[in-house]
Amino acid sequence: MSIGLGMPGIRPTIDLATRPASPALIDRFGRVATDLRVSLTDRCNLRCTYCMPADGLPWTPTADLLSPDEIARLIGIAVRELGVTSVRFTGGEPLLRADLVEIVARTAALDPRPEIALTTNGIGLEQRAVALRQAGLNRINVSLDALDDEAFTRIARRPLLRRTLAGIDAAAAAGIAPVKINAVLVSDVEVDPVELLQWALARGHELRFIEQMPLDADRSWRRADLVTAGDVRRRLSERYTLVPDSAPREGAPAQRWHVHPLGRADTAPLGAVGIIASVTEPFCGDCRRTRLTAQGTVRACLFSHDEVPLATALRTGADDDQLADLWRAAMWAKPAGHGIDRPGFAPPQRSMSEIGG
Ligand code: SAM
Ligand code: SF4
């Protein structure tokens, strides 16, 4: 049997005959996915230059998005049958879903209950942080690329810094700790990583720098322009002493560093910082992620060129065992790595906000 399984858009090139009879989401390279990213919408209220075009994208009609029932059913299959232990809701902007609190609550009611996380730009979080916490949200990452209005607006193309900051404060006040802050540095807008780190340390948030990947809708990513993990570490090391966290990384994208006052690694750390070097120090060999797009297709990798339309199968009557097997087959086809540095690399057709970051 081939991976195509009669589904449109799936290249019938991967032989499934060699797939082991494992219940887990195992791939041809022995990696097992336990961490599920669910995109709840491809809509967004920002237009970050590294993600969306200035004019936005044709949004998926609301009726075609996964419904709360479908989300609960698919995540239920993932945790009961496929070994998924953690779920992160993302997008687009997941706070644009009016039913987000319900989706979190239904996920929290599953048995076994997965860890539940959210990645958001924080706009509107001020009004919903407490309800999300009460619904069972365990962890949150809020994206914040700059601390001054002008730089934020140049990157996000919307003057909404204050609302993101209010969302971060609300998440912390609701007891979601630590709040993690995601920052992508771009070469054409000057942002001081030390200033961002000082700001995060002062509030007890954990900052994570993310290297920009070629997933922008504008296709303007250039390897030569990249602000690299090495650049960030160099800048931070002028001000702090960074000591690598010795705890096992367990497939986490971020390498964690304990942050000490400069030259004082012997003192208690001021906090921690994570650096996600997806491009220059890829961690594909230990990837544990599987993805559901907002339309309910499975993507084995951010950089996959193929998707398996799980929601189509669900809507045409597939039972849980059939859906689980489709999901396993999709993951079996996962590529070894993103290959950004290889000659002939082609970014996926869909950009970050459409895939779900
Ligand atoms: N809208 C939410 C947000 O911004 O947090 C969730 C979706 S967004 C796609 C998830 C994460 O992906 C954000 O932290 C964002 O900064 C990051 N991201 C978007 N495009 C990226 C790119 N081209 N390279 C690296 N990270 C990117
Ligand atoms: Fe929207 Fe997040 Fe993409 Fe920015 S990174 S445009 S906030 S989806």
SS (H, E, C) 198-212: HHHHHHCCEEEEECC
Q: Is residue 353 within 6 Å of ligand 2 at its C-beta? A: yes
User: What span, in angstroms and rounded, lies between the C-alpha atoms of 211 and 213?
Assistant: 6
Which SS3 state, helix, strand or coil, does residue 274 take?
strand
Point out the ligand nearest to the CA of residue 355: 1
Asked whether the predicted pLDDT for residue 266 surpasses 50, the reply is yes
**Per-residue confidence (pLDDT) for residue 14, from 0 to 100:** 60
Ligand 2 atom 8: the closest Cα is on which residue?
92
Instruction: Kindly give the number of the ligand 1 atom that is closest to the alpha carbon of 182.
Output: 14
pLDDT tens for 193-227 read 999 999 999 999 999 999 999 999 989 999 999 99
Residues 40-49 have a mean pLDDT of 97
Q: Of the candidates 154, 151, 208, which has an alpha carbon nearest to the alpha carbon of residue 184?
A: 208
Residue tagged 């996600």 (tokens): 276
- Residue 212 alpha carbon, nearest atom of ligand 1: 24
Has residue 341 got a pLDDT over 90? no
Model confidence at 1, pLDDT cuts 50, 70, 90, reads very low
Q: Is 72 helix (H, G, I), strand (E, B) or coil?
A: helix
Beta strand 271-276 with 255-261 is antiparallel
Whole-number Å distance, alpha carbon 47 to ligand 2 midpoint, is 6
Could you tell me the CA-to-CA distances from 44 to 57, 146, 232 in Å, in that order? 9, 18, 28
Query: Domains, the chain, ranges and CATH?
Result: 2-179+287-355 (3.20.20.70)
Indicate whether residue 299 lines ligand 2 (CB < 6 A): no
Residue 327 alpha carbon to ligand 1 centre in Å: 24
Query: Does residue 273 carry a pLDDT above 50?
Result: yes
Cβ 39 under 6 angstroms from ligand 2:
no
The answer to whether the CB of 91 is under 6 A from ligand 2 is yes
| Alpha helices per DSSP H over the chain | 68-81, 100-108, 125-135, 149-156, 161-173, 193-203, 229-237, 310-315, 320-332, 352-355
Question: Is 7's pLDDT higher than 60?
Answer: no
- The whole-angstrom separation of Cα 275 and Cα 93 is 23
Question: Which token pair is 312?
Answer: 């189509």
Ligand 1 mean position to 352 CA, how many Å? 7
The mean predicted confidence, pLDDT, of the chain is 93
Max Cα-Cα span within the chain: 63
Residue 351 CA to ligand 1 center (angstroms) comes to 10
Helix, strand or coil for residue 221?
A: coil
CA 53 from chain centre, in angstroms, equals 19
Q: How far apart are CA 258 and CA 265, in angstroms?
A: 9
CA of 143 to the centre of ligand 1 (A): 7
Question: Which of the listed residues 41, 42, 43, 44 should we mutate to test ligand 2's pocket, taking the one with most ligand atoms within 8 A of CB?
Answer: 44
